[in-house]
Chains A and B, each alone.
Chain A
Amino acid sequence: MDIIKTRKLNLYYGTFQALKGIDMDIAEKEITAFIGPSGCGKSTFLKTLNRMIHMVPGVKITGEVSYRGKDILSNTIDETNLRKNIGMVFQKPNPFPMSIYDNIAYGPKLHGNTNKAQLNDLVEKSLRGAALWDEVKDRLKKSASGLSGGQQQRLCIARALSVSPDVLLMDEPTSALDPASTMKIEELMIELKKDYTVVIVTHNMQQATRISDKTAFFLVGELIEMGKTDDVFSLPKDKRTEDYITGRFG
């Protein structure tokens, strides 16, 4: 089933058109990877999916974006609730300057959960979900800034999981990490797709081939090609996709 759909999506930063008529269907409980050279619009598109892009002054959007059939471009949408359902993990790990425990409990508290026992369970469940529990269970009250980069990124994933999201958007989540931490996050993503829909922006072609089910290739604001990852990386339909993934440009 397709969980997110966009139709004729155009996005302008002032007079500059960053997205041009994007039609896309994102399937539930799959990993969809966005690839393309810098400035092609893939991160902009990702941020449109949970309205993060609305924070940018001067942004104008036309077309349709729906999440589970609901128009998310509508002015009446509850943004906080939308971002609870469609969580986001960024390129650089950005733990809050507080303890590991509080990093995870912050979201659920914000959404009204103050029951201590429930919060304890939720923290453990989220950290387990992000494959971090065993590494931090004895220092939950310590500051999150003491964690390694890879652990911090998994903490951010755990934080996103703590509010029981439906979709996880990840903007180059491993580009600031070493190979071992990258591998852990990739393994985690494959685990996560059993329960969540994952959309990831990546500059790492091998990462896209390793973990994603579908791949979408963007170029100067256009969606050039989208299909099964195996197809896109073995027999791309568009020559521009072929040229990009084989490193002929970009």
Chain B
Amino acid sequence: MINSRQNFDTELEELSEDLIKMGESATTAIDRAIDAFHTGDKELMKKVVKGDRKINEMERNIEQRCLRLLLKQQPVASDLRKISTAIKMITDIERIGDAAADIAEISLHLNIPSSLGVLEDITNMAKIAREMVSDAIDSYVKEDLDLAQKTREKDDLVDEHFLRIRGILGEKIREDIEIMDEAMDYVMIIKYLERIGDHAENLCEWVEFYKTGVYKYERIL
């Protein structure tokens, strides 16, 4: 006979699986957005924009599952932290999905390849941000605080890229005002990538909370 604790464990297991799937969908969206940005593949861009709906739907489903578990199980200790962590993480994952869709949407209007000479830099920046997201999800799966910490630190690298590429684009605009519109689109793209890094950092902070009850150096539960 299956007891109620086993049922609850199964539910928690399914919650983790759902969260991992949502994380995978978000990283796939970034991969596709960057791939499309790099190759100018308009069809792929549209696919990313459309795919964001699926990520939003996943967020809603996980949210519902968490609220139902809070209601029915009145969880404590690690159970409570796991569920509250999931509620917080899905918000960041959803935003990551939004950012990927926004990058794809902007890319639809861009002439690719561009003459601005920042494509490689942006692709590199995107790779780091994307890796941060998958490592953050991985640190949740493995409950690996070291990985979470290392991933958080990578956000500095993303920020450096942002400042440097923005500097280059500013320079280009000063040289030739005609490229203003195009350059602004690129600035938007790197801003979205920078935000993805921030959200990945948030994910890591919630992983830390899940394991320790500490969020941003403060014990909150």
Contacts and interface: CB of A to CB of B under 8 A. Distances in A.
Interface string B70-93: 000011111111000000000000
Interface in A191-250: 205-206, 209, 230, 233-236, 242, 245-248
Contact of B78 (A205, A206, A209, A246): A246
The winner among B75, B76, B221 for most chain A CB atoms within 10 A is B76
A234 B81 contact: yes
Given A247-B4, A247-B5, A247-B8, A236 B74 contact: no
The winner among A205, A235, A242 for most chain B CB atoms within 10 A is A235
Given A247-B4, A247-B8, A233 B74 contact: no
A205 B79 CA distance: 14
Is the interface on chain B under 10, 10 to 19, 20 to 34, or 35 or more residues?
A: 10 to 19
Contacts of B74: 205-206
Interface residues of A, number: 13
B76 A234 contact: yes
B8 A236 contact: no
Given A234-B213, A235-B221, A248 B5 contact: yes
A234 B80 contact: yes
B85 to A, nearest CB: 13
A209 B79 CA distance: 15
A247 B8 CA distance: 10
Contact of A233 (B8, B77, B212, B219): B77
Contact of A234 (B4, B5, B221): B221
Interface string B92-107: 0000000000000000
A246 B4 contact: no
Interface string B184-221: 00000000000000000000000000001100000101
Contacts of B79: 246
B5 A209 contact: no
B76 A245 contact: yes
Interface string B1-23: 00011001000000000000000
Contacts of A247: 4-5, 8
Contacts of B212: 235
B78 A242 contact: yes
B213 A235 contact: yes
A155 B105 CA distance: 71
Contacts of A209: 76
B8 A235 contact: no
B151 to A, nearest CB: 23
A236 B77 contact: yes
Contacts of A205: 74, 76
Nearest to B5: A247
B6 to A, nearest CB: 10
A235 B4 contact: no
Contacts of A248: 5
Interface in A64-81: none
Contacts of B219: 235
Contacts of B8: 247
Nearest to B73: A247
A135 to B, nearest CB: 30
Interface string B145-182: 00000000000000000000000000000000000000
Contacts of A246: 5, 75-79
A236 B76 CA distance: 10
Contacts of A236: 77
The winner among A206, A234, A242 for most chain B CB atoms within 10 A is A234
Given A246-B76, A246-B79, 19 more contacts: A205-B74, A205-B76, A206-B74, A230-B221, A234-B76, A234-B80, A234-B81, A234-B221, A235-B77, A235-B81, A236-B77, A242-B77, A242-B78, A245-B76, A246-B5, A246-B75, A246-B77, A247-B4, A248-B5
27 contacts: A205-B74, A205-B76, A209-B76, A230-B221, A233-B77, A234-B76, A234-B77, A234-B80, A234-B81, A234-B221, A235-B77, A235-B81, A235-B219, A235-B221, A236-B77, A242-B77, A242-B78, A245-B76, A245-B77, A246-B5, A246-B75, A246-B76, A246-B77, A246-B78, A246-B79, A247-B5, A248-B5
**Which 7 A-B residue pairs are closest in the complex by CB-CB distance?**
A235-B213, A234-B221, A233-B76, A247-B5, A242-B77, A245-B76, A246-B79
Interface of B: 4-5, 8, 74-81, 212-213, 219, 221
